[in-house]
Chains A and B, each alone.
Chain A
Amino acid sequence: MRTWTIGILSTVVIAVAIVAGLILIPTQAQSPGYRAPRLPGTEHPDLNGLWQALNTANWDIQDHSAQAGPLVALGAWGAQPAGMGVVEGGEIPYQEWALKKKQENFANRLRVDPDDFALGDPELKCYLPGVPRATYMSFPFQIIQSQNALLISYEYADASRIVHMSNPIKPPLDSWMGWSNGRWDGDTLVIDVTGLNDSTWFDRAGNFHSDALHVVERYTLVTPDRLQYEATIEDPKVFTRPWKISMPLYRHAEPNAQRLEFKCVEFTEELIYGSLKKKTN
């Protein structure tokens, strides 16, 4: 009798747990039961804030060890920290020629030539970072979300993106930061990015793409201060199949948090134009 009661009770408890579990299954990797605050006047989660990745993906989106930097003078300052990759499955599905090109990019990453703007890592020259690289540079970015518009302002190089929320528009031409059309998939902000040029890289390791790049980004607030970021990368000219990166982004919680300015052009002029300066004896 007693055993039987316990058996029934256990079954009920397990059943309830399963049902509860089903309800709370972390769709979009959300913390169980977390419902993000809404932006006033809308049904959408409020993603406003100053966000930043806490990883080393800008060095290399794949697994990498700590290693000496390329400039002796910079000592430990310039060294690469170790980091686990952000590519799902680990490998980037390059076409054969493209893998060689990536290795070439890496070898040439510090080369600069005023007659060949395509040479070297665009970040070294303070060029616009493109998408998704802008997300995981070692700088914060601010999301400005209103009832009907959305703007992303990156501290690095003053890059900005207007996300077209109510009026999806075909990109009129290619650009560094591409053309962003946004929509809500439940509580997830989905940004479809096309019109990207072929001049940006994914990281300092020379990972690259062509002008056929298509990025679909997903931003989901999973806790008050954590924004889950996922980007699907598609580029049939360079990769054999679509692939994905993902990472958490963290909110700057300092009470005086502010997106500062990193207008880095000035820091690169000697590097880019130095050979064209008047020689003084």
Chain B
Amino acid sequence: MDGFVPQSVDANAIRLGGERHRNVTLTAKKDCNQEVSMSGRRVWSVGLLAAVVAAAVLTSSVGGQSQSPTPAAQWPKTPWGDPDLQGTWNFGTITPLERPEKFGNREFLTPEEVAQLNKDSSERATAERRKELSAAEDVELAYNQFWWDRGSSTNRTSLIKDPPDGRLPLTPEGRAQRAAQNKRGFDTWADRSLSERCIVYRPVPVRSTGYNNNNVIVQAPGYVAMYQEQIHETRIIALDGRPHLGGKIRPWLGDSRGRWEGNTLVVETTNFNVKNVYEGSTGNRTVVERFAPIDAKTISYDFTVTDPAVYSRPWTGTMPWRKVTDEVFEYACHEGNYSMVHMLGGARVQEKQLAASPSGRVTRKR
């Protein structure tokens, strides 16, 4: 690399120096793919009602549509009596948070549209497709297809189901804040995203990205723990009704308290670090997540975000979490974050070249 840094590439795509890190992702992804491809064929043998099973199979491309949680009495329990949500769950999806304008008022996609979107996603970065691309377009695709594990369409046009237009109800201030939050530069690390800095990859509520969309749930009396593959942090959710932390303690992932409503785990999170920006909001948002088991392979994950300064009303999104049986691997991110060194270092080289260039332009070497 001669100091040139592509301006619009996902920085993770050029975090190639981190060999250990890359291998981890590769291995994990391969296994996840095998699981995802198999999940539709798995026979589910937990002793629930046949009708529930049939419903689950029929709606295996879950979209939060026409699905009701399993009755509380029928759901497996931990020995201490809590609904048992334990296991490894994948929340990957290509459905966007906000509804693209072209869909107007439509909430759901047709089966043909879902199939097409899934096909496009699965072929997005294949070798065949890349042959036709210019070098710049190829760089945009970043990793090859083997790497990606985006998940599939939920069959909704947006994850947001309320408001009904599928869009964030941003106030003017919220809109301005979101634009500012999405601004990137190369002057310092602080100009880069929280994920590129290896501080937060999965905000609360969780966001699906290109790979490693995995979460391991382990329960103990009084607690639910959620281990996020990215970035190897565990959300520990107390269930004992204790009050939230005082306002001066503000973790990046906020402070979570949970309770059971039937089989549904309801988690309220507050006290976010003010720097933990999320879709226009800062540390003042309150997030209520609802984890409702649908069948042995599916949790319906609903999340409601409230922040009156930036949203004109609370809004709610929904996406499925699907159970997988593969192992989750360590996602070491900060330990050798070559991409940060290369991005900042590259920008400094460009500045020097610019200063030395009589034409005021920098020529890219190939």
Please give the residue numbers on chain A whose beta carbons come within 8 Å of chain B beta carbons, in ascending order.
39-42, 46, 48, 114-115, 117, 122, 125-128, 142, 144-151, 153, 158-160, 162, 169, 172-177, 197, 199, 256, 258-261, 263, 265-266, 269, 273, 276-278
Interface code B230-253, partner A: CB below 8 Å = 1, 0 otherwise?
011110101000100100010111
Please state if A144 and B335 are interface contacts (CB–CB under 8 Å). no
Q: Given B221, B227, B253, which contacts A162 in the complex, CB threshold below 8 Å? A: B227
Which candidate, B91-99, B174-182, B281-289, B323-331, is the interface stretch facing chain A? Answer: B323-331
Please state if A128 and B348 are interface contacts (CB–CB under 8 Å). no
Please state if A158 and B232 are interface contacts (CB–CB under 8 Å). yes
Counting chain A CB atoms within 10 Å of each CB, the highest count among B86, B188, B238 belongs to B188
Interface code B7-24, partner A: CB below 8 Å = 1, 0 otherwise?
000000000000010011
Given contacts A151-B234, A273-B340, A278-B348, whether A173 and B20 have CB atoms under 8 Å apart is: yes
Q: A151-B234, A162-B227, A199-B335 are in contact. List 13 more A-B contacts (CB 8 A).
A: A142-B236, A149-B218, A160-B227, A160-B233, A172-B327, A176-B332, A258-B238, A258-B245, A260-B251, A263-B233, A273-B340, A276-B345, A277-B187
| Alpha-carbon separation in the docked complex, A146 to B190 (Å) | 40
List which B310-331 residues lie within 8 A (CB) of chain A.
327-330
27 sample A-B contacts, Cβ–Cβ < 8 Å, listed by A number: A39-B79, A40-B78, A128-B232, A128-B330, A128-B332, A142-B225, A142-B234, A142-B236, A144-B236, A146-B219, A149-B218, A151-B225, A153-B236, A159-B232, A160-B227, A160-B233, A162-B227, A173-B24, A173-B329, A261-B253, A265-B197, A265-B334, A273-B189, A273-B340, A276-B341, A276-B345, A277-B344
Chain A residues whose C-beta falls within 8 Å of the C-beta of B252 in the assembled complex = 261, 263
Please state if B328 and A162 are interface contacts (CB–CB under 8 Å). yes
List which B84-112 residues lie within 8 A (CB) of chain A.
86
Chain A residues whose C-beta falls within 8 Å of the C-beta of B340 in the assembled complex = 273
Interface code B266-305, partner A: CB below 8 Å = 1, 0 otherwise?
0000000000000000000000000000000000000000
Please state if B86 and A149 are interface contacts (CB–CB under 8 Å). yes
| Alpha-carbon separation in the docked complex, A258 to B340 (Å) | 33
Given contacts A48-B221, A147-B78, A172-B327, whether A117 and B335 have CB atoms under 8 Å apart is: yes
- Chain A's interface: helix, strand, loop or mixed, by majority? loop
Please state if A169 and B79 are interface contacts (CB–CB under 8 Å). no
| Alpha-carbon separation in the docked complex, A263 to B327 (Å) | 24
Q: Given B23, B216, B223, B234, which contacts A158 in the complex, CB threshold below 8 Å? A: B234
Within the complex, the shortest CB–CB distance from A37 to chain B, in Å, comes to 11
Within the complex, the shortest CB–CB distance from A134 to chain B, in Å, comes to 12
Chain B residues whose C-beta falls within 8 Å of the C-beta of A128 in the assembled complex = 232, 330, 332, 335
Within the complex, the shortest CB–CB distance from B113 to chain A, in Å, comes to 38
Please state if A177 and B188 are interface contacts (CB–CB under 8 Å). no
Please state if B220 and A146 are interface contacts (CB–CB under 8 Å). yes
| Alpha-carbon separation in the docked complex, A109 to B253 (Å) | 31
| Alpha-carbon separation in the docked complex, A159 to B232 (Å) | 6
| Alpha-carbon separation in the docked complex, A199 to B18 (Å) | 13
Find the A residue at minimum CB distance from B275. A266
Chain B residues whose C-beta falls within 8 Å of the C-beta of A169 in the assembled complex = 327
Chain A residues whose C-beta falls within 8 Å of the C-beta of B242 in the assembled complex = 256
Given contacts A158-B232, A199-B335, A258-B238, whether A269 and B197 have CB atoms under 8 Å apart is: yes
| Alpha-carbon separation in the docked complex, A24 to B27 (Å) | 49
Chain A residues whose C-beta falls within 8 Å of the C-beta of B232 in the assembled complex = 128, 158-160, 177
> Is residue B71 within 8 Å, beta carbon to beta carbon, of the partner chain?
no
| Alpha-carbon separation in the docked complex, A151 to B218 (Å) | 7
Chain B residues whose C-beta falls within 8 Å of the C-beta of A151 in the assembled complex = 216, 218, 225, 227, 234
| Alpha-carbon separation in the docked complex, A125 to B233 (Å) | 17
Within the complex, the shortest CB–CB distance from B82 to chain A, in Å, comes to 10
> Is residue B173 within 8 Å, beta carbon to beta carbon, of the partner chain?
no
> Is residue B351 within 8 Å, beta carbon to beta carbon, of the partner chain?
yes
> Is residue B265 within 8 Å, beta carbon to beta carbon, of the partner chain?
no
Chain B residues whose C-beta falls within 8 Å of the C-beta of A117 in the assembled complex = 335-336
Chain B residues whose C-beta falls within 8 Å of the C-beta of A197 in the assembled complex = 20
Find the A residue at minimum CB distance from B332. A176
Chain A residues whose C-beta falls within 8 Å of the C-beta of B48 in the assembled complex = none
Chain B residues whose C-beta falls within 8 Å of the C-beta of A148 in the assembled complex = 86
Within the complex, the shortest CB–CB distance from B257 to chain A, in Å, comes to 10
Please state if A147 and B225 are interface contacts (CB–CB under 8 Å). no
Within the complex, the shortest CB–CB distance from A165 to chain B, in Å, comes to 10
List which B185-211 residues lie within 8 A (CB) of chain A.
186-190, 197-200
Given contacts A42-B79, A146-B86, A263-B252, whether A172 and B225 have CB atoms under 8 Å apart is: no
Chain B residues whose C-beta falls within 8 Å of the C-beta of A259 in the assembled complex = 236
Please state if B218 and A273 are interface contacts (CB–CB under 8 Å). no
Within the complex, the shortest CB–CB distance from A205 to chain B, in Å, comes to 21
| Alpha-carbon separation in the docked complex, A177 to B332 (Å) | 9
Interface code B121-164, partner A: CB below 8 Å = 1, 0 otherwise?
00000000000000000000000000000000000000000000
> Is residue B347 within 8 Å, beta carbon to beta carbon, of the partner chain?
yes
Chain A residues whose C-beta falls within 8 Å of the C-beta of B251 in the assembled complex = 260-261, 263
Given contacts A153-B227, A273-B341, A278-B347, whether A175 and B20 have CB atoms under 8 Å apart is: yes
Please state if B220 and A48 are interface contacts (CB–CB under 8 Å). yes
| Alpha-carbon separation in the docked complex, A142 to B267 (Å) | 19
Chain B residues whose C-beta falls within 8 Å of the C-beta of A162 in the assembled complex = 216, 227, 328
| Alpha-carbon separation in the docked complex, A158 to B310 (Å) | 29
Find the A residue at minimum CB distance from B189. A269
Chain A residues whose C-beta falls within 8 Å of the C-beta of B236 in the assembled complex = 142, 144, 153, 258-259
Chain B residues whose C-beta falls within 8 Å of the C-beta of A147 in the assembled complex = 78-79
| Alpha-carbon separation in the docked complex, A56 to B234 (Å) | 26
Q: Given B221, B332, B348, which contacts A175 in the complex, CB threshold below 8 Å? A: B332
Chain A residues whose C-beta falls within 8 Å of the C-beta of B225 in the assembled complex = 142, 144, 151, 153
Q: Given A46, A115, A159, A175, which contacts B329 in the complex, CB threshold below 8 Å? A: A175
Please state if A158 and B233 are interface contacts (CB–CB under 8 Å). yes
| Alpha-carbon separation in the docked complex, A125 to B218 (Å) | 30
